[in-house]
Structure 1
């Protein structure tokens, strides 16, 4: 498996795209030449639903002319770059052999454009889908592959399923994956949400999420991870997850994201906000450690 030659799919698509005159025809063309080739990977025959799902995650809009984006990704050998990063990580992490599907990103999505560096990824236990912009740097592509493949490895090794995953696990999983980016690619490749808030904000942010940390179902976690609704600050869950992992690694310098890949989220939390130097309170109570140095 590894990187799927979606460049061949896209080559056929950009040739046929000008022949589709109206929006409905363009949606049908994308479904025929792109979405239908993914139905086995997603175990579904409901192409309309799959198309809407992928569009919501970052797939290029069928009404957009992607020829220039496609050719730019080809000229930069992005498929090769993704394959190289994946192969190295798979060997190092002894991870699963999963297919990786690469497509141009939806450039009109404001979150992707303004906060995610024109890139987006979605991970499952058995596959990864990447959405990349023509101007996305090689370093950012490597960071994206690292982040998403770390998810795959953790999901596989802990036998995690989206329906039974807790909010705490979702947060820790995001934090671990981004710490892996720091280890494998470099700190300058970290996502902007890792430094969105001051460490002094941890207590108030955690207070918003503490009672929900055992909530199960990945689809229920998004308001807490991304924030922006219900009084939850943007990227609150992502930021907290990163800080939980970061503090655990500071408390125990022998820890790496590889060694923590099989560690339960609750165990990581206990190693993070611990009674270090006697200035912390139990996380099972209403407060969190005030030692965030």
Structure 2
């Protein structure tokens, strides 16, 4: 059973104070040859570990997985020929074992090899801890006000892998994964980070966790499209003034072509087709992030037809029922 949902968020022009857009300037600077960022990072009293709070009788825990990355950097400098093994030992296995998930070294969890930049990422996250924590808490509370969860939620905060800088820049510094109804991981790349991207990411992933409390992931193309459309619609309800590049199609023709392919493959279980809807396929006229875009459009049409149906009701409504009631096909 697949339970993991990968979400990449990109919003523009609201920059976290202290997070430079130049990776060479991110975090603390070295004042002398004897000064090491690792010395500052290794001062454990300055490194946040976790924060728990209760809201509406619901427990939330934010875990900052920084100390393990500090340990990885130290060990990696002593064993440069064993980076993969060290990363699995210090990062991959502890998260997987603690949270009960199957964590592979796929995208976003590949072995970091640019250790100096990773140090700077960590220092920037530590320096901006209060701001990051406030953004996460505020988004969780706003989300819980709209959709009450039934199970505890844990959010892991990690530095992104510097080698993924191009993708992280395109999503403005935040990528997120919902693993199950209890566990979200957030990866942040400080050089590209913007506050709005984190707020929307938390709201989006929160919806996924509540969805998973009563529903399975689903395997069809339509189910994968609607799970993202629902979460994105929820995030837009929480933050209506924050626009995302995958909220809308660039042209009516893009939308028509995406719908044509979706209509022909609603029940498809093909990973290749689902990848097309995420990565895009120009040969088929499918744009990048088409799953979000068409999912948003179907949900917009559904809510237009049934404005009185509650968030909780449509969260648990089957994908095919959402599509039928949306009258999206009749409108397109």
TM-score by length of 2: 0.70
1:112 and 2:162 matched: no
Q: Which has the higher contact order (CA 8 A, sep 6+)?
A: 2
- Residues 199/152 of structure 1: CA separation in 2 closer, same or farther (3 Å cut): farther
Correspondence 1:127-276 to 2 at 5 A: 127-134=183-190, 135-157=192-214, 159-161=215-217, 164-188=218-242, 190-216=243-269, 221-228=274-281, 231=284, 232-255=286-309, 257-273=311-327
Q: Distance in 2 between matches of 1:260 and 1:218?
A: 26
- Residues 35/223 of structure 1: CA separation in 2 closer, same or farther (3 Å cut): same
- Residues 106/255 of structure 1: CA separation in 2 closer, same or farther (3 Å cut): farther
- Residues 133/255 of structure 1: CA separation in 2 closer, same or farther (3 Å cut): farther
TM-score by length of 1: 0.78
Unaligned runs of 5+ in 1: 45-49, 275-282
Q: Distance in 2 between matches of 1:197 and 1:256?
A: 30
* Number of the residue aligned with 1:289: 331
- Residues 7/185 of structure 1: CA separation in 2 closer, same or farther (3 Å cut): farther
Deviations 1:168-221 (A, max 9, x none): 121111112112221112332x32111242245432221112121112477862
Q: Distance in 2 between matches of 1:151 and 1:220?
A: 22
Q: Distance in 1 between matches of 2:140 and 2:272?
A: 27
Higher percent of residues as strand:
2
Give the stretch that moved more between structures: 80-89 or 190-199. 80-89
Give the match's secondary structure for 2:331: coil
* Number of the residue aligned with 1:70: 122
Q: Distance in 1 between matches of 2:231 and 2:271?
A: 16
- Residues 43/238 of structure 1: CA separation in 2 closer, same or farther (3 Å cut): closer
1:59 and 2:113 matched: no
1:7 and 2:66 matched: yes
* Number of the residue aligned with 2:78: 19
Q: Distance in 1 between matches of 2:270 and 2:212?
A: 14
Contact 2:301-2:326 within 8 A present in 1 as well: yes
Contact 2:232-2:292 within 8 A present in 1 as well: no
Q: Distance in 2 between matches of 1:160 and 1:71?
A: 38
Give the match's secondary structure for 1:187: coil
* Number of the residue aligned with 1:280: none
Q: Note the C-alpha offset of 1:7.
A: 2.7
Contact 1:104-1:133 within 8 A present in 2 as well: yes
Q: Distance in 2 between matches of 1:51 and 1:33?
A: 14
Contact 2:246-2:292 within 8 A present in 1 as well: yes
Number of residues paired by the alignment?
A: 264
Q: Distance in 2 between matches of 1:183 and 1:200?
A: 27
